[in-house]
Each structure stands twice: as structure tokens, then as C-alpha cells.
Structure 1
Amino acid sequence: MTTASAPARLRGFSGRDAPSYDAIRKCVHCGFCLPSCPTYRVTWRERSSPRGRIWLMKSVAEGRLDLLDPVFAEEMQLCLNCRACEAVCPSGVHYGEILEASRAQLVQHREQSWRERLFRLAGFRILLGDMRRFRAANALLRWYQRSPLRPLVRRSGVLRLLGLEQAEALLPAIADRFVVADGRFVPAQGERRGRVALFTGCVMSTAYAHVHEATIRVLTRNGFDVVLVSGQQCCGALHVHSGEPELGRRLARQNIEALESPYLDAIIVNAAGCGAMLKEYPALLRQDHDYAERARQLAGKVRDVLEFLVERGLTAQPGPLPWTVTYQEPCHLAHAQRITQQPRVLLRTIPQLRLVEMAESALCCGSAGIYNLLQPDMASTLLARKLDNALATGADVIVSANPGCMLQLEAGLRARGVRLPVLHLVEVLDRAYAAAEGRPADILAAVAD
């Protein structure tokens, strides 16, 4: 992501994925970003704000700060990459892009511990690098979660010894049946309005397979054929956010090969982070002559399921749900994709459902991909604030639209001993359609064990 501008001054950065000096210089240090930044609002440190981090990037680019300075590394990792700053920036700074490029520089030049090297190899390359391996690992994880071994392992202290106690507690319950991109075709109900592909992703296909199933039911009920196109891989968001852009590019190329088709009206995504990544494939592959234009065409078809349903309109009338709900906005839906009103529009189409807005609904919950594993203290602080705001509404259900947020909220509620369901918005619609058919839509059936 280099530019021809001021090449001699990029002494601290090098290589293909160096942050653009022009992009760094777009920041005029106005401070509009400060109130929107979660880490700044917790620490009240200038360096922990978008403006402060960009100043650090500029200092490295101009050779005034060592790339390996501990403060630089600390702040690049402490940032959630929630991109709330982008939504309010009057200068149009692409903060997420330069942050990810800065992280890539750290991965390239900084010495890594054996634990980090193992994590990157096992997580990014082996498991998330191929969905067959990922599903096999999830099948083993499902066996572990349901076996007598789990309570024994928890009591033994081995998880604490290995530093895996928090990670194990955050694990989602793996589904009985995975939703696999195997080429299946699910026909529309009633009058056919088009054909779409469902992006299955990684965690959504194994831990939140029920959300995929609800998505398929809602889409077909509204007149759309759904295809589970084979050959799909992880979207690559975790790789790119964690300073592994080349791995992200490899996955992007595989997804383009799988999903590009003139016979698809849209590519539907129900995970905010995946949707944002797919829409940003053109930026990721801008220097790839073979894929840049193909990435642009694919991205033009990508739609979050909530965005798509509002664009096309609901032809099937939802039934009544006498629930009080509150909506937690996923960062990569609200800030990266600027999808804020569509979820609320859909909730308001459901008879008898009451939406109560929580305070700071767009403030990050602390999940941020794997941030809650890497920065547990900040993640816990933000989660506590989010849960306090959600519970203050008196809602029966917390609604969101991203697996990371749902996982974080569910874990936080379990830790507090609160039995409150967390549902994806498309699940709420699916239950409203069940109600329209006279079938029960039990709230408590959604509470995680």
C-alpha cells in the first residue's frame, strides 16, 4: 500500500504493505475522532486515540521513532480497529487500512515469541487456511465440549498453566450440524425474485450454523433462491487485521474464484466482519493485476443480509413477537459498512415487538475478532460497559448481527449469571415468520447453556 509520495521519508516502513504516507498525512489532528474511540474513552491517553496513533505512524514513517519502539507496538495492538473514527472523520482518513499496514510491518520486522509463532501457524495458516481442516478441528472441539473430559480439564488447572483459560471459556458451543458450502441449492418459496449465494465463512458455519439456517429460511421465504457455492474459504478478515495480509490475499483469491458468477444477483453475508472484508477485497488486491478488477466486481455484489432485505423489501409479512429488544451495533456493520438504519427498519416491521435503544449502542463490545483473547483487560472493561447499557433497557433479548459480538455478549452474560438470550437479527425475523404460521417463538430457547 505504498505511494510515490515522499519515498525517502518512509525510512521506518518498508515493503509492499507499508502504510501509505499520503494516507497518514490526511489526518489534520482535529480531534473529532476522540469521543468515538473506545480505548481513548477508557484510558484518556492521547496516544491511545486514532489521532495519537496516526502521529506515531507518521513519526515512524519520517524516521523520528523506531518501528520497534515498544510504545508503537503497544498502541497498534491496543487499538480495536472498530473504525468508529472513520465514521466521524471529516478528512476521510482510511484509518483501518493504515492500522492494518502498520501491524503487518510489526509482524514482518519484530521478533515473535514461540507462543505467538505457534498461534499464527496453527490459527491463521493451518485452521483458518482451509475450511476442511477448520471443520475437522471444530468436530473435535464439539466432542470435547460434550464429553466428561471438559470439567476434568477445567478443574485440573492445565488451562491456566497453558494460558488458555480465558480462550476456553469464550469458546462458542459447536453446532450438531455444520452448514457447509457444498453446492446445495435451496429454492425460493412463492414468486421467485432472484438468486443469491450465502457466504458461509468459518465460525458462522460451525458455531452459528443455526443463524445460517435462519438466513436461508428468511431469504427463501422472501422469494430468493439460495446457493451454498462450493469452494468458499474464510474471508481473511482475521488475517488482515492481525498483520498477515498475504494470507488474506490468498483467501480472497480463492473466494473470488468460488463466488464470481453472472447468475448470482448478490452475495449475502450475515457476519458484519466478513461483509466488511469482502467489500474491501478491491483495496486488498489493488496491486494484483489478475484479480483487482474481479475483486471490484465481486465486492459490488456483496450485501449484508439486513441491507439486502431492506433494499429489496419484505414480501412475506412477519407475525407478532411480544418482545422487548435492544440492538447492539456491530462495529464492522455500523462503522465499516455504514449500515445503521436497516437493522432498526427490519425490527420495526415486526408487530408487537418493542425496540428500546441502549446507551452507546455503537460503542465496541470488546470482541473485535480475537482482541478479547489478546487484550483481555480492555475487552472486559468495554464488555462490562456494554452489558450495563444493555441490561438497563430491561429488554427480553439482546439483538446483534455479528458472531464475535454475540459470542462476547453471551460469555459476559454467563459470567454474570444472567439468562438473557442474544439473537442475530435474522433469527428474530425467522421467529416472526414462525409466529405468522402459528408456531411458537420461545425466547428462552435461545439462551446459551
Structure 2
Amino acid sequence: MSAIPARFLDERKSMACVHCGLCLGSCPTYLETGNENDSPRGRIHLMRAVQDGRMELADEPIRHLDTCLGCRACETACPSGVAYGELLEHTRHFIEGRHTRSWPERWLRDVLIERVFPYPERMDLALRPAQWLRAAGMEKWLPERARTMVELLPKQSSWRTLPAFSPAEGEVKGTLGMLSGCVMQVLFGDTHQHTIRLLNRSGWNVVVPPAQSCCGALHSHAGKLELARDSARRNIEVFEQARVDAVVVNAAGCGSAMKGYASLFEERDEWCERARRFASKVRDLSEVLDFTRFVAGPWRRGKVTFHDACHLAHAQGITRQPRQWVRKVAGEHYVELPEAEVCCGSAGSYNLTELEMAARLQRRKVEKIGATGALTVVTSNPGCQMQIEAGLRNMGYPQVRVMHLADFLAEAVLAADL
């Protein structure tokens, strides 16, 4: 067998995996299938085999790599510190340049993910017919993939024009730049407004630079690394020029991507060091709010639970701070969610590309939520919010609300002002 004349993996990083198997119990797809090739160590073995020329870049190994969520739960479990997410994205980049996909997959990846979703104006226009179909109850007549996408959407978008500058309340701590993003900007504008109000109440001036770009996460996940690098360069430049103390993000997937910008560039590239400096300033919303400036009244809306967005818990290692906020509001009504750290099946655009596995994980998540008796589920990522909400609705739990952390806190502590 002839070797593939390209080295797409960092040899040192790929060899860090010693195949100990401690990651197996953390991997959602392995938990579902029990197939070693659907586990992190199995997939790393496939990556190495393709790079070394021991395996052809054929449909079977690609299938196992495509069904990986990229949730990075394996990184949390790994004692060797394997950078699995980075290995996966570079492998997918290699695959994209050499493998021909079916036309529906090409349309999804090359049109929606590459040319529509990262651009808010285009996304807004593209989603309007889908939201009309949803409002009219006509999604059931659509093909499966299109129906899934329509069912995920909120009933209506809430795009809001955000002020370029919002002043802090009370003693000023400093100035934060805020990522407006693409999905958040188009579908969750109210969440953005609540985020700014919470930050202002916490003592932060907030700047929203209009020239910023999509974070590049969807491009990275799809293996389109050159497009992800373009987004990284744009955002690094824009926020450098804004001279902010930190950059706050209210979407876990975006924050994870921005903190990982350095992995997109070669060490000798000047952008690598600039990306590291930039990443050191990126903060999740839950990291910068000030407990002392909020007072919440008694919670009277039943039990509340919290779902860990994968790219907050595993990619950024943030689990304590958002829970503190939810507990502060819900008090004795807070209940811990079993398997809170297991992926819900959203995973960026995964629930559009891998329908069967996404649905299995969605069902698993909804069953766990149902068992808690919670009437409110709080999370920190728009994809999780849409995926869980659709699952609850389809599985007979329409009374359960799914809320972004910012919306949950705004309802509890800013209700008198908003």
C-alpha cells in the first residue's frame, strides 16, 4: 500500500495517546455503540493509520471520524493530556481536501456551513422560510434533514442591534469586548441584550466592535481550517484595536474556538503568538459576573437543573461558575442532572450531518432531564438550547423550559428593569 504523501498530524501530540482506555466511558458515541472505532483511542488509531499509509482514506474510517461529536469529553478524562480536538480538526481538514462526499453533504458543508451560517445577514434571510414553515406546522412534509433543521429553530428569531458601547453601572471595573457571533446574533438577540445588562450591572463597560467576524468554530469542526484562520485573524485584529481588558463570550462553542486560535497556526507564524495573547483574554460570561451586585427574589417556578455544554465543561474546563449562578437563584429547587456532562447531540452542525446519532443522544439527554422533574433547564450554548428544547417538545415535555444562563439570570435579578 502506498503511503499518503502528507503529514497532517503533529506526531508528538498524536503519540501522547497511550491507548489506556480511560476515555472510553466518557465518549458519548462509544457509550451508544460499544464500537472501539467509535471511541477516542480507536479514532486516534485510525488517524495514525491513515497518516502512516497503513490504511486507505476510505469510506469506513471516514465514517467513524465523521460520527465523532468533537465534544472533547475524552480530554477531561485523559491523564496524558491528549489534545484530541486539535487532532480531529486537522484530520478533518485533510479529509476535506481528498474525499468526495454526496451532494446533500456537500450542500450542507459547502453552502450552509461555509457560506451562510457564518454571515448573520445571510443566515437571517435563509432561515425566514424555515421559520414560516415551522409557524405554519408544515415541517412534517419536509425531507428528514430539512425537517430536523426546521424543528430545531426557535419559533421566531430575535435579532437585536447592539450598541457599540454600553456603560457600566456603579464603580467601573474595566471594559470588556463582546463577541456578537452569528447564531447568537440572529436567533438569540434577546440573550445578547440580557448579557450586556448583566455585565453592566457587574461593573463592566461593554464594547461590541461592528467589524468583528464569526468565531470560526463551525469551519474548524468541518475541517475548513483556512476559513477558520481568516476568522481568527479578523477577530484578533479587531479586538486588539479595541484595547479591551478582556473579551467576553456567551456561547460555549465560540469561546472554546477563540481560546484555541493558536492551534490554527504554525509555531513560527507571527499569528500564533498573537493568538495566544488574544486567547488569554477570552472569558466566558459566567467568569466575569459579580455575585455581590445581584439580588434575586425567591424562586417559585419549580425545580431547576443545569446541562454542561461540552465546549464549556470539557474544552474550557468551566463547570463550577455557571452552577454557582444557577444555585444562587434556584436555591433548594436546584437538582443536579445525571450525565450533565454528556453531549446532547448538538455539537455545532452535527445534528444536521449525523441525524441518527444526534437523535439517540438527544433522547438520552431528555430522558435524564425528565427523571429530575425539573421545569427549567439552564445551559450556556445556543446549539444545546435548541437541541434539548426540540427533544423535550418531541418527547412529551413541552412544559419544560430551556434557558440560556443570561436569560435565566435576567429573569431572576433584572426583571424589574427589563
Normalising to structure 1: TM-score of the pair? 0.87
Contact 1:179 1:206 (C-alpha < 8 Å) held by counterparts? no
Seen in structure 2, the aligned counterparts of structure 1 residues 194 and 114 have a Cα distance that, compared at 3 Å, is same
Which of 21, 24, 27 does residue 31 from structure 1 map onto? 21
Alpha-carbon distance in 2 for matches of 1:322, 1:364: 29
**CA shift for structure 1 position 425:** 1.4
CA offsets, 1:370-401, max 9 Å, x none? 11111111111111111111111111201111
The one-letter code of the counterpart of 1:151 is: A
Provide the rounded CA distance (Å) in 2 between the counterparts of 1:13 and 1:365.
37
Consecutive unaligned residues of structure 1, counting only runs of 5 or more, are 1-8, 441-449
1:169 paired with 2:137, answer: no
**Change in 2 beyond 3 A, CA 1:140/1:93:** closer
Residue of structure 1 equivalent to 2:224: 244
Q: 2:5 and 2:47 mapped to 1: Cα distance?
A: 9
> Residues 263 and 102 (structure 1 numbering): CA distance in 2 closer, same or farther, change over 3 Å?
closer
Partner of 2:309: 330
Instruction: Give the secondary structure class of the aligned counterpart of 2:283.
Output: strand
| Aligned twin of 1:347 | 326
> 3-state DSSP class of the match of 1:164?
helix
Distance 1:348 1:137, change over 3 A: closer
Match of 1:270 in 2: 250
* Counterpart in the other structure of 1:108: 97
Q: What letter corresponds to residue 336 of structure 2 in structure 1? A: E
User: Post-superposition shift, 1:359?
Assistant: 0.8
Is 2:136 the partner of 1:151? yes
1:172 shift after superposition:
3.1
* CA distance in structure 2 between the partners assigned to 1:352 and 1:128 by the alignment: 38
Give me the whole-angstrom Cα distance separating, in 1, the residues matched to 2:29 and 2:130. Answer: 35
Secondary structure of the 1:276 match is helix
Counterpart for residue 80 of structure 2 = 91
Listed one character per residue, the Cα deviations across residues 222-245 of structure 1 (whole Å, up to 9, x for unaligned) are: 111111111111111111111100
2:135–2:155 CA contact under 8 A, matched in 1: no
- 1:302-344 Cα offsets, whole Å, 9 max, x none, are 00001222xx554233333234200010000000000011111
- The reply on whether 1:53 has 2:35 as its aligned counterpart is no
CA contact (8 A) 2:337 2:368 kept: yes
Query: How many percent of aligned residue pairs carry the same amino acid?
Result: 41
Relative contact order higher in (CA < 8 Å, ≥ 6 apart): 2
Counterparts of 2:2 and 2:374 in 1: how far apart (Å)? 51
Distance 1:178 1:345, change over 3 A: same
Aligned residues of 1:39 and 1:48 also touching (Cα < 8 A): yes
Assess if the C-alpha contact under 8 Å between 1:59 and 1:65 holds in 2: yes
Contact 1:13 1:19 in 2 (8 A): no
In the alignment, which of 4, 12, 29 is matched to residue 4 of structure 2?
Answer: 12
- Cα 1:340–1:209 shift into 2, 3 Å: same
Contact 2:6 2:51 in 1 (8 A): no
**1:43 maps to which of 33, 40, 51:** 33
After the TM superposition, which residues 16-415 of structure 1 pair with which residues of structure 2 at under 5 Å, given as runs?
Answer: 18-66=8-56, 68-129=57-118, 131=119, 134-139=120-125, 141-142=127-128, 145-146=131-132, 151=136, 154=139, 157=141, 159-160=142-143, 163-180=145-162, 184-261=164-241, 263-287=243-267, 289-309=269-289, 313-323=291-301, 324-350=303-329, 352=331, 354-415=333-394
Q: By how many angstroms is 1:288 displaced?
A: 6.6
C-alpha RMSD over aligned residues: 2.4
> Aligned to 1:364, what secondary structure does the other structure show?
coil
